Amino acid sequence: ESFDFGIVGLGVMGRNLLLNMADHQFAVAGLDLDIEKASSLEKEASNTHQVKGTTSPEEFVKLLKRPRAIMLLVPAGKPVDAAIGTLIPYLEEGDIVIDGGNTFFPDTDRRVEELSKKNIHFFGMGISGGEKGARFGPSMMPGGDQKAYERLRPVFEAIAAKVNGEPCVAYLGNGSAGNYVKMVHNGIEYGIMQLIAETYDLLKRGYNFDDDSLQKTFEEWNHTELQSFLIEITGEVLKKRDDETGQRLVNLISDRARAKGTGKWTSQNAMDLQVPIPSIDVAVNMRDISIYKEERLKASTLLPWNNPDNHDHAGDDAVKEKIKNAFYFAMITIYAQGMAQLHVASKVYNYGLDLEEVAKIWRGGCIIRALCLEDFRQAYKRDNNLPNLLLDNDIARSLIDKQGDIRTIIKDAIDKGVPAPAFMASLSYFDAYRSAILPTNIIQAQRDYFGAHLYERTDKEGTFHTQWD
Ligand code: 6PG
């Protein structure tokens, strides 16, 4: 009973998190049913590490200090239930089990309830940052019992990424709060990745940038207000050459995009909660359109594309500046949509989220880390109950400054026939959100016309029906 922490599942994520904990002087036990994975752990560890791998659930549980803290890093779904099942016979009251996978949040609520009957605390925790993050500092989004979190806090704060000394982990809220926040993180991730893809397409097909200028543009942007992990890696992705052919690797990669589901869940749940997140929706749609490769190939001859603009704008700083501003504008609205979803979800599911904390722990370690997260944090510091970032004075001003450029860029995209749905959805979201009067009065009138669905009036109270014809 001398180990501080236990990890179940010694794949890349589990192993890296375990070694990260060991780097911070925690004694960590690992469980994996694969003997190879369990036994290689100690060989991989350095002599300052205190680690032990085992294939026996009983031995594993008995190695741990009480109340035990055990994190599962197994694929989401049935493997999580299976892992819990193997541990249960040995666990005791007060022990804590944490699921560190991309779990669909209702599954966590079910598990919290099942395990609470045995007085075992169950946590759903989003972990972002990929393999490297896990090894050297991820962003972590835990949700569960607040008191039980105190047992986990020292370990998590030690291993998390740090921004100005502040750890990128915080207790987020009850039940499935952690998985929900991670799901929306991924929705935002989808939105920004789509925005980057559109920017790349516009520069390349629309403004005829050559590969070198394209690459340099992204590299430059990472030293501006666009600074972010996703912009940074795009600069690196565009640089990479294929070992065999010497060509740029990205030009050899198939355009059929895959998805594991977190972006889709974000959109599906946003519809359930009636929170509009159109930029994230189109990001899911575009991955789906990309799969229809054969149909797209046929359509490309039937509906041929050609760009009327044959000038190379690569050296044109004015074009670059406009796209940069358009990108900034759209990026801010994508975060705003995701955060607005969290604001509503927190009320509907009683999570008790503090969005200032969310913005704070997203500043480092995670895939959507970006300079602008500090601005969002400040916005929530000014008003912790802000329903939408667009309602913050400073953020509103930065969007007003850049709206001319996103309009120009979208007009160019239309003229050039380059698809830019994330830009367009973001601008439309902005234009709709800031409209004091929307044309939805027409929809209400039509509903009443054909279905007697009634309508409300602006000049008096009550509901009304009209005999329209
Ligand atoms: C992260 C990532 C990570 C994973 C995504 C990929 O935060 O570290 O989001 O969780 O790479 O799940 O999702 P898709 O396969 O759906 O693109």
Ligand 1 neighbour 222 (Cβ under 6 A): no
Residue whose tokens read 């986990």: 152
Q: What is the pLDDT of residue 301?
A: 98
Q: Catalytic residues, which ones?
A: 182, 189
Q: What is the 3-state secondary structure (H, E, C) of 70-119?
A: EEECCCCCHHHHHHHHHHHHHCCCCCEEEECCCCCHHHHHHHHHHHHCCC
Query: Which amino acid does the sequence have at 48?
Result: T
Q: What is the distance between the alpha carbons of residues 59 and 53, in angstroms, rounded to a whole number?
A: 10
Ligand 1 neighbour 130 (Cβ under 6 A): yes
Q: What is the DSSP letter of 169?
A: B
80 C-alpha to ligand 1 centroid (Å): 18
Ligand 1 neighbour 259 (Cβ under 6 A): yes
Take residue 36 and report the two structure tokens written for it. Answer: 């190879």
What CATH superfamily classification does 5-175 receive? NAD(P)-binding Rossmann-like Domain (3.40.50.720)
User: Residue 213 in contact with residue 317, Cβ under 8 Å?
Assistant: no
Domain residue limits, the chain: 5-175, 182-433, 439-469
Report which protein residue has its CA nearest ligand 1's atom 8: 128
The number of helices, as runs of H, and strands, as runs of E, in the chain is 19, 11
> What residue spans of 121-176 are helical by DSSP H?
130-136, 146-159
Ligand 1 neighbour 132 (Cβ under 6 A): no
Q: What is the pLDDT of residue 1?
A: 72
Sign of the C-alpha dihedral computed for residues 404, 406, 410 and 416 taken in this order: positive
254 C-alpha to ligand 1 centroid (Å): 19
Which atom in ligand 1 lies closest to the alpha carbon of residue 263?
A: 16
Report which protein residue has its CA nearest ligand 1's atom 11: 130
Report which protein residue has its CA nearest ligand 1's atom 13: 260
430 C-alpha to ligand 1 centroid (Å): 27
Q: Could you give the ipTM of this predicted complex? A: 0.97
14 C-alpha to ligand 1 centroid (Å): 16
Q: Is 439 exposed, middle or buried (0-12, 13-18, 19+ CB in 10 A)?
A: exposed
Q: What is the distance between the alpha carbons of residues 23 and 361, in angstroms, rounded to a whole number?
A: 21
Q: In terms of pTM, does the model score above 0.95?
A: yes
Cα dist from 371 to 62, 129, 227, 228, whole Å: 44, 16, 6, 6
Ligand 1 neighbour 139 (Cβ under 6 A): no
For the chain, the residue count is 469
Report which protein residue has its CA nearest ligand 1's atom 4: 130
Which atom in ligand 1 lies closest to the alpha carbon of residue 259?
A: 16
pLDDT digits (tens, 9 = 90+) for 444-453: 999 999 999 9
Q: What is the pLDDT of residue 392?
A: 98
Report which protein residue has its CA nearest ligand 1's atom 2: 128
| Residues that constitute the known binding site | 102, 128-130, 185-186, 190, 260, 287, 447, 453
DSSP class per residue in 20-87: HHHHTT--EEEE-SSHHHHHHHHHHS-TT--EEEES-HHHHHHHBPSSPEEEE-S-SSHHHHHHHHHH
Q: What is the distance between the alpha carbons of residues 126 and 169, in angstroms, rounded to a whole number?
A: 10
Ligand 1 neighbour 129 (Cβ under 6 A): yes
Minimal CA–CA distance to 367: which of 180, 168, 214, 143? Answer: 168
Q: What is the pLDDT of residue 386?
A: 98
Q: What is the distance between the alpha carbons of residues 32 and 177, in angstroms, rounded to a whole number?
A: 28
Which atom in ligand 1 lies closest to the alpha carbon of residue 186?
A: 9
DSSP class per residue in 194-227: HHHHHHHHIIIIIS---HHHHHHHHHHHTTTTT-
Cβ within 8 Å of residue 389, ≥6 positions away: 332, 335, 336, 339, 340, 376, 379, 395
Whether a cis peptide bond, with omega within 30° of 0, leads into 154 is: no
Which atom in ligand 1 lies closest to the alpha carbon of residue 139?
A: 7
Q: What is the DSSP letter of 364?
A: S
Ligand 1 neighbour 260 (Cβ under 6 A): yes
The mean pLDDT values, 10 residues at a time, for the chain of 469 residues are: 95 97 98 96 91 97 98 97 98 98 97 97 98 97 97 98 98 97 98 98 96 97 98 98 97 97 98 98 98 98 94 93 98 98 98 98 98 98 98 98 97 97 98 98 98 98 97
Take residue 60 and report the two structure tokens written for it. Answer: 């594993």
Which of 73, 99, 102 maximizes ligand 1 atoms within 8 Å of its Cβ, making it the mutation to test the pocket? Answer: 102
Ligand 1 neighbour 128 (Cβ under 6 A): yes
- If one looks up domain 439-469 in CATH, what number appears? 1.20.5.320
* CATH architecture type of domain 182-433: Orthogonal Bundle (1.10)
Q: What is the distance between the alpha carbons of residues 100 and 136, in angstroms, rounded to a whole number?
A: 16
Ligand 1 neighbour 108 (Cβ under 6 A): no
CA 429 to chain centre: 19
